[in-house]
Structure 1
């Protein structure tokens, strides 16, 4: 596929690529130059106050909790009374 640079340095991304990557108006693309290549990559941005969730440490801890849930190592309570009873053990 080919595209050309238009006025104001704009390009059109072919519709086939838009559909394949499920891109929508307003989506954010990262632009990277690698040698003589221009690489466009869709990215999802998150508010700064939520960025902690996507750190490696937090994601590792999330995976650990998921494993504990799968292995039934995490208990749940049906009521606050049951919760407090379980905490007393």
Structure 2
């Protein structure tokens, strides 16, 4: 169990184990969620550039997960060149 002391202006220094568990570092933000039970959940937030936010949508992440599973299972195809790859993707081969 980790503890911290509340200082002036509501400041708290998070112990390293807590920062590591949240996956946060200097400059990252924290989100505090008060549950109906009265407990507080803390979530680390990472800033993402708006032109890269598409990568973190649930749909894209699901595709990434499926692709990783396919690669791990050896379900891949090697093509001789880009034209062959696009022909395969288009169903022309």
Q: Which band: TM-score by shorter chain?
A: 0.5 to 0.7
Q: Is the 8 A contact 2:30 2:44 kept in 1?
A: yes
Aligned CA RMSD, in angstroms, stands at 3.3
Q: Is the 8 A contact 2:33 2:40 kept in 1?
A: yes
The residue that corresponds to 2:62 in the other structure is 60
- Aligned-pair distance for 1:74? 3.0
For residues 14 and 63 of structure 1, the distance between their equivalents in structure 2, rounded to whole angstroms, comes to 32
SS at match of 1:74: coil
For residues 46 and 56 of structure 1, the distance between their equivalents in structure 2, rounded to whole angstroms, comes to 15
**Residue among 29, 48, 51 paired with 2:50:** 48
Return the structure number with greater relative CO, CA threshold 8 A, min gap 6. 2
TM-score of the aligned structures, taking structure 1 as reference length: 0.58
Q: Is the 8 A contact 2:4 2:13 kept in 1?
A: no
- Aligned-pair distance for 1:52? 1.6
1:28-85 superposed Cα distances (whole Å, 9 cap, x missing partner): 1112233654443222221122222122211222222233333444312244475478
TM-score of the aligned structures, taking structure 2 as reference length: 0.57
